């Protein structure tokens, strides 16, 4: 009986083992390969190019500059003295600061060239010094009309010798009771004559035939005398026929 049971049990185990098959190569799961990525390309670098500011349109031939904004058409040049004067457009005016005595500066408006022209300006001086107007500025020289805080005025023929240095020849020097620390002056360049105005009063007419300046730019001037520092404020410049 035991033998029969053992033999039967052995047959049962063999039957179970025969029913379970070992895994084949087809039944083993394999990992799906990742797709091949395209080669990396270089990223384009954007280069920022600053946009150049357009040059503002020049003013008309006859105009009034009230100095509300800076203007590229004004060129400021030192014509004498130690320290370079500084210019600032502020509070609707052009301010000129001069820190050394006996120092001169001119400002040339380079937009147009004039023959006969009438220039006016209004300015004030905080201390001793002068301010003025220029006409027919060119490579051969210029005419310059200045008034001083002590009541005197002069008319000069100026010529730039080198950077920062100019030669001046006096054409007229006088005193006028019309001059005040804050004044309006005018310079009328008419053919071979220069007419000088202080607060709408004609104070002098000067013949300049011998100097032969026929045309050029207009401008302004400012200077210290024996005292410094000084400040000069130009409220406006007017150019007319």
The structural domains of the chain, with segments of one domain joined by +, span 63-240
Q: Residues 31-43, buried b or exposed e (16+ Cβ, 10 A)? A: eeeeeeeeeeeee
Supply the pTM of this predicted model: 0.77
Find, among 173, 199, 48, 5, the residue nearest to 120 by Cα.
199
Specify the 3-state DSSP secondary structure of 232.
strand
**pLDDT, position 241:** 92
**pLDDT, position 45:** 54
**pLDDT, position 51:** 56
Q: Which two tokens stand for residue 104?
A: 């001169």
Task: Mark the ranges of the chain whose per-residue pLDDT is less than 70.
Answer: 1-54
The pLDDT tens digits for 25-37 are: 444 344 555 555 5
**pLDDT, position 9:** 40
Q: Which two tokens stand for residue 171?
A: 């054409």
Tell me which CATH homologous superfamily contains domain 63-240: Exo-inulinase; domain 1 (2.60.120.560)
Longest distance between any two alpha carbons in the chain, whole Å: 160
C-alpha to C-alpha distance for 76 and 165, rounded to whole angstroms: 13
């Amino acid at each position: 009986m035991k033998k029969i049971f053992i033999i039967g049990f052995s047959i049962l185990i063999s039957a179970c083992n025969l029913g379970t098959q070992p895994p084949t190569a087809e039944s083993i799961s394999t990992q799906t390969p990742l797709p091949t990525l395209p080669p990396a390309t270089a990223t384009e670098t954007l280069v920022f190019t600053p946009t150049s500011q357009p040059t503002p349109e020049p003013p008309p031939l006859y105009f009034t500059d009230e100095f509300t904004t800076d203007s590229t058409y004004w060129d400021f040049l030192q014509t004498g003295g130690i320290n370079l004067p500084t210019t600032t457009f502020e509070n609707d005016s052009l301010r000129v600061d001069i820190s050394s005595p006996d120092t001169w500066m001119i400002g040339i408006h380079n937009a147009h060239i004039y023959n006969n022209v009438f220039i006016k300006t209004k300015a004030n001086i905080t201390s001793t010094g002068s301010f003025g107007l220029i006409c027919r500025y060119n490579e051969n020289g210029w005419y310059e009309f200045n008034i001083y805080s002590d009541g005197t005025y002069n008319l000069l023929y100026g010529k730039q010798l080198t950077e920062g240095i100019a030669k001046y020849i006096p054409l007229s020097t006088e005193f006028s009771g019309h001059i005040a620390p804050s004044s309006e002056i005018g310079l009328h360049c008419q053919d071979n004559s220069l007419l000088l105005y202080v607060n709408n009063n004609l104070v002098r007419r000067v013949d300049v035939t011998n100097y032969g300046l026929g045309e050029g730019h207009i401008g302004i001037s400012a200077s210290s005398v024996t005292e410094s520092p000084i400040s000069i404020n130009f409220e406006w410049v007017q150019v007319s026929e």
